[in-house]
Chain A
Amino acid sequence: MAKTILIVDDSSSLRSVVGTALKGAGYDVIEAEDGRDALSKLNGQKIHLIISDVNMPNMNGIEFLKASKQIPAYKFTPVIMLTTESAEEKKMQGQAGGAKAWMVKPFQPPQLLNAVSKLVLP
Chain B
Amino acid sequence: MQNHYDHTAHGNHMPEFRNEEFQQLCQSVLPLWADQILAAKALTSSSIDELSAKFAGLSQSVRAVTSDEGAQSNQQLLELLNLSQEQLATVIVLLKNSIDEKQTLLQAVSTLSSYTKELLDMADIVTRIAKETGMVAVNAAIEAARVGERGRGFAVVADAVKRLSSDAGRTGSHISDTVNRVSLAIKNVSEVSKEFEKKDAQTLVEAEQIVNTVLDKFGHTANEVIQASQHMMNESQHVAQEIDQVLYSLQFQDRVSQMLTHVQQDIEKLNQKVDDPSGIGSVDEWLRELKSTYTMREQTQIHDKRSSAGSSKKTFGAKAAPPPATSNDADDITFF
Contact = CB atoms under 8 A, between A and B. Distances in A.
Given A17-B247, A106-B330, A55 B258 contact: yes
Interface residues of B, number: 36
B55 interface: yes
Contacts of A111: 330, 333
A14 to B, nearest CB: 5
B270 interface: no
A37 to B, nearest CB: 17
| Dominant SS among interface residues on chain B | helix
Contact of A86 (B51, B56, B254, B332): B332
B336 A99 contact: yes
A102 B247 contact: no
How extensive is the interface on chain A, given as a class?
Answer: 35 or more
Contact of A24 (B59, B295, B332): B59
B117 interface: no
B296 A107 contact: no
Interface of A: 9, 11-14, 16-17, 19-21, 23-24, 54-55, 83-86, 91, 94-95, 99-111, 115, 118
B151 to A, nearest CB: 122
Nearest to A15: B52
B326 interface: yes
Given A17-B52, A106-B326, A107-B251, A100 B60 contact: no
Contact of A13 (B52, B244, B295): B52
A94 B253 CA distance: 24
Contacts of A115: 333, 335
Contacts of A84: 254-255, 258, 295-296, 329
A21 B329 CA distance: 19
